[in-house]
Chains A and B, each alone.
Chain A
Amino acid sequence: MEGKQIGQPLDVASTVKRFADRFGRMGIYGGIVVLLIIAAIAQPSLVGPAQLVTIAKLSAVLGIAALGQTFVTVSRGFDISQGGVITLTVVLANTLMNGEAGNIFLGVTVCLLVSVIVGLINGLVVGFLKVPSIIASLGTFAVTTGGSVIYSGGVPTGSIPQAFLFLGRGYLGPMPVSVIVWLILTVVAGVILQRTVIGRSMFARGANETAAFQAGLNVLFYGALPYVLSSIAACIAGLVYASYIGLPVLSAGTQYSLSTIAAAVVGGTSLAGGKGTMVGTSAGAFFLTMLSALIISFSLPEGVRMIVTGIIIIAAIYLSRRDEA
């Protein structure tokens, strides 16, 4: 836009801005490319195909959960309880399945059921009682996390049966099963969001409840649905996690709560609603996981790692919003 005149001092601010503009227009995909380039230079071992596949495998949990979160973000809400649902799912799956293949069906069903209930609670509290989603989901997060502790008595027992481990650890050819599941779900979620009446209705209700109501939409249903989908996604993510680790872990989900929102935002979903793609979110999830792996690989002390993570998240969001202008 502004031309540089000969003899004019270099305007640092506007140069950075122009660079950021061109950069931001590539969106999250550009970010991934940059990350890969940096990794290739600094930690070449990380960029080998085997390593990338592993990172993809690690991203799958975050990615699957983030898909569900995108439904909520598009409706201008926040579902912080996903982390709690993941934890609860991991604990329940281990305890119920208890190493026996015959219990797989039971374990999965119960987990899904519980997650649907949590989603309904979120959805109704936000949609009907009109409690702000941050608060409501913070509450259900506490309830699910605390509930996991209570249920397991502090020491969770059980394990994942051999047959089920295929989900988190198995491969179909060169691709991990969990990544395949993630990719399939990305497509499914994307189709739901963009091409179905359900997706459109959730969008509409999230953007303007009054107008959607007057247009004849069932605002209660479509207000609650994103949260139900979000919890189901968290449940699936939890099952993938459980089948990857094989044993119960109480702190499973806590790290995911806020990162799913970050993945969605970094992937281009606007917090103001009305804009978002599932592919972008999945890219965001991959980006964040890759970033985390890269930072860890530098063997920096924990504190420094966290500082760098914080800075990069801000940079990533800043850049991803530049193409919103």
Chain B
Amino acid sequence: MLASRIFNVYVLFFVISIVGYIMFPPFRTWGNATSLLSNSAPIIMVAVAQFFAMLVWGVDLSVGSIMNVVIVAASFLLDAPLEQMALGIVLCALLGALLGLINGVLIVALKLPDFVVTMATFIGFQGIALSIRPTPGGGVNPDFQMFMYSYTYGLPNSFWVLIPILLILAYVLRQTRFGHYMIAVGSHRESSQLLGLPVGRIRIGAYVMSGLCAAIAGIFLMGLIGTGSAEAAAPYQLNSIIATVIGGTSLYGGQGSVFGTLFGALILQVVLKMLTYANLLGSYILVFQGTMVVVVVGLVTLAQNRSLLRALLRPRING
């Protein structure tokens, strides 16, 4: 019990922030801290996308590709005067939801393993993105980009947009029947079936949510980079899994929270930023990412597996 408290993601975030503050002077400026926050919107949203898929014991290897599709779509739809922006954003979000629906239908209706399906859609969706924009181009309404980069009351605007979105998602999860059933189905599929819950539809719904969140992540990323590139979201795929796991989501479904995932993503961002401050080359970051995945998940799993923990911590009698 205590061990899982120690590895609680909020505590972890607190600890990491303190470490960062002490070790890296650049962290201490408010400007740097908030710019970190502003750049984190995409990773946070894509982590939440992955969270929804993991909630129903699945994994979504195509979130990065969904982001790419939305980014290139946005490079057309959002390259428009302000009045059309709202419509453009809605269309992009729907596009993501549609791609998520495809994932869901393939996995649930065809009863194919989620890993392989999202692997195939990872390739397929990327193909769609490349077909729409083989080379980077297009753009985004400059006012929109300005908005994303500006601050209000000292915090980045992307933050102000992100938080309500997350609040809505958390509400849907905990307070609506749909979200409630997602947790139920994710934590115990058999019982849910016996209880008459529409397991298939709920799982498809989870993947739709995942696609929707990936689309929002894509829109945020588009706000940051301003050009439609079909490869923009490549590093986000791996990071989405790391962030979700750090945030306390169980790969076996039914456990985790939206805000836990938020902090997991933030921890990842902070650590990566610390690496750049420590002047580590890009390639080291990859190694570090990899090691961190293994170590963090190992620790988290260890904390959850109490008997294993006991075996390791207590002295044994005569071996």
- Listed in ascending order, the chain A residues whose CB lies under 8 Å from chain B are 78, 121, 125, 129-132, 134-136, 138-147, 149-150, 154, 258, 261-262, 265, 271, 301-311, 313-314, 317-318, 321
Q: Which residues of chain B have C-beta atoms less than 8 A from A141's C-beta? A: 290
> B13 in the interface, Cβ–Cβ < 8 Å?
no
The one of B119, B121, B251 that contacts A135, using a Cβ cutoff of 8 Å = B251
The answer to whether B116 and A135 have CB atoms under 8 Å apart is: no
Query: Which interface class (under 10, 10 to 19, 20 to 34, 35 or more) fits B?
Result: 35 or more
The 8 A-B pairs with the shortest beta carbon distances in the complex, nearest first, are A310-B124, A306-B127, A142-B290, A146-B286, A303-B131, A303-B130, A307-B127, A146-B287
A316: nearest residue on chain B (CB-CB)? B120
The answer to whether A265 and B110 have CB atoms under 8 Å apart is: no
The answer to whether A265 and B116 have CB atoms under 8 Å apart is: yes
In the assembled complex, the Cα of A302 lies from the Cα of B126 at a distance in Å of 10
Q: Which residues of chain B have C-beta atoms less than 8 A from A302's C-beta? A: 127, 130, 134
Which of A138, A145, A265 has the most C-beta atoms of chain B within 10 angstroms of its own C-beta?
A: A138
- Given A302-B130, A318-B110, 16 extra CB contacts under 8 A: A125-B294, A129-B302, A131-B297, A136-B297, A138-B238, A141-B290, A146-B289, A150-B283, A258-B119, A301-B130, A303-B126, A303-B127, A306-B127, A307-B128, A307-B131, A317-B117
Query: When A129-B302, A303-B130 are in contact, do A78 and B115 touch as well, CB less than 8 Å?
Result: yes
The answer to whether A130 and B123 have CB atoms under 8 Å apart is: no
26 contacts between A and B (CB under 8 A): A125-B298, A131-B297, A139-B291, A139-B293, A142-B290, A142-B291, A143-B287, A145-B290, A146-B285, A146-B288, A147-B287, A150-B283, A150-B284, A301-B130, A301-B131, A302-B134, A303-B126, A303-B129, A306-B123, A306-B124, A310-B125, A311-B124, A313-B120, A314-B117, A318-B112, A321-B111
Query: When A154-B283, A321-B112 are in contact, do A131 and B298 touch as well, CB less than 8 Å?
Result: yes
The answer to whether A306 and B126 have CB atoms under 8 Å apart is: yes
- Listed in ascending order, the chain B residues whose CB lies under 8 Å from chain A are 59, 61, 106, 110-113, 115-117, 119-132, 134, 230, 238, 241, 245, 251, 281, 283-294, 297-298, 301-302, 305, 308
Q: Which residues of chain B have C-beta atoms less than 8 A from A271's C-beta? A: 113, 115-116
Q: Which residues of chain B have C-beta atoms less than 8 A from A135's C-beta? A: 241, 245, 251, 293-294, 297
In the assembled complex, the Cα of A138 lies from the Cα of B308 at a distance in Å of 23
A88 to chain B, nearest CB (A): 12
The answer to whether A130 and B308 have CB atoms under 8 Å apart is: yes
The answer to whether A149 and B123 have CB atoms under 8 Å apart is: no
Which of A140, A149, A305, A307 has the most C-beta atoms of chain B within 10 angstroms of its own C-beta?
A: A307
A74 to chain B, nearest CB (A): 14
Interface of B is mostly: helix
The answer to whether B294 and A261 have CB atoms under 8 Å apart is: no
The one of B130, B283, B294, B308 that contacts A146, using a Cβ cutoff of 8 Å = B283
Query: When A261-B116, A309-B123, A313-B116 are in contact, do A303 and B305 touch as well, CB less than 8 Å?
Result: no
In the assembled complex, the Cα of A131 lies from the Cα of B299 at a distance in Å of 9
The answer to whether B123 and A131 have CB atoms under 8 Å apart is: no
A257: nearest residue on chain B (CB-CB)? B119
The answer to whether A265 and B113 have CB atoms under 8 Å apart is: yes
B293: nearest residue on chain A (CB-CB)? A139
The answer to whether A136 and B131 have CB atoms under 8 Å apart is: no
Q: Which residues of chain B have C-beta atoms less than 8 A from A146's C-beta? A: 283-290
Query: When A134-B115, A135-B297, A265-B113 are in contact, do A304 and B287 touch as well, CB less than 8 Å?
Result: no
In the assembled complex, the Cα of A306 lies from the Cα of B65 at a distance in Å of 12
In the assembled complex, the Cα of A311 lies from the Cα of B128 at a distance in Å of 12
The one of A129, A139, A306, A311 that contacts B130, using a Cβ cutoff of 8 Å = A306
B316 to chain A, nearest CB (A): 15
B117: nearest residue on chain A (CB-CB)? A314
A154: nearest residue on chain B (CB-CB)? B283
The answer to whether A303 and B302 have CB atoms under 8 Å apart is: no
B249 to chain A, nearest CB (A): 11
In the assembled complex, the Cα of A132 lies from the Cα of B302 at a distance in Å of 12
Q: Which residues of chain A have C-beta atoms less than 8 A from B132's C-beta? A: 303
B292 to chain A, nearest CB (A): 8
B252 to chain A, nearest CB (A): 8
Q: Which residues of chain A have C-beta atoms less than 8 A from B120's C-beta? A: 262, 309-311, 313-314, 317
The answer to whether B131 and A131 have CB atoms under 8 Å apart is: no
The answer to whether B293 and A138 have CB atoms under 8 Å apart is: yes
A266: nearest residue on chain B (CB-CB)? B116
The answer to whether B290 and A150 have CB atoms under 8 Å apart is: no
B184 to chain A, nearest CB (A): 22
B219 to chain A, nearest CB (A): 21
B130: nearest residue on chain A (CB-CB)? A303
Q: Which residues of chain B have C-beta atoms less than 8 A from A317's C-beta? A: 112-113, 116-117, 120
In the assembled complex, the Cα of A317 lies from the Cα of B124 at a distance in Å of 15
A227 to chain B, nearest CB (A): 13
Q: Which residues of chain A have C-beta atoms less than 8 A from B251's C-beta? A: 132, 134-135
Q: Which residues of chain B have C-beta atoms less than 8 A from A314's C-beta? A: 106, 110, 112, 117, 120-121, 124
B19 to chain A, nearest CB (A): 21
In the assembled complex, the Cα of A50 lies from the Cα of B54 at a distance in Å of 46
B289: nearest residue on chain A (CB-CB)? A142
A129 to chain B, nearest CB (A): 4
Q: Which residues of chain B have C-beta atoms less than 8 A from A131's C-beta? A: 294, 297-298, 301
In the assembled complex, the Cα of A304 lies from the Cα of B59 at a distance in Å of 25
Q: Which residues of chain A have C-beta atoms less than 8 A from B289's C-beta? A: 139, 142, 146
A268 to chain B, nearest CB (A): 13
The one of B110, B121, B241 that contacts A310, using a Cβ cutoff of 8 Å = B121
The answer to whether B130 and A145 have CB atoms under 8 Å apart is: no
A258: nearest residue on chain B (CB-CB)? B119
Q: Which residues of chain A have C-beta atoms less than 8 A from B61's C-beta? A: 258
In the assembled complex, the Cα of A250 lies from the Cα of B271 at a distance in Å of 26
A87 to chain B, nearest CB (A): 11
In the assembled complex, the Cα of A250 lies from the Cα of B291 at a distance in Å of 20
The answer to whether B119 and A261 have CB atoms under 8 Å apart is: yes
The answer to whether A138 and B241 have CB atoms under 8 Å apart is: yes
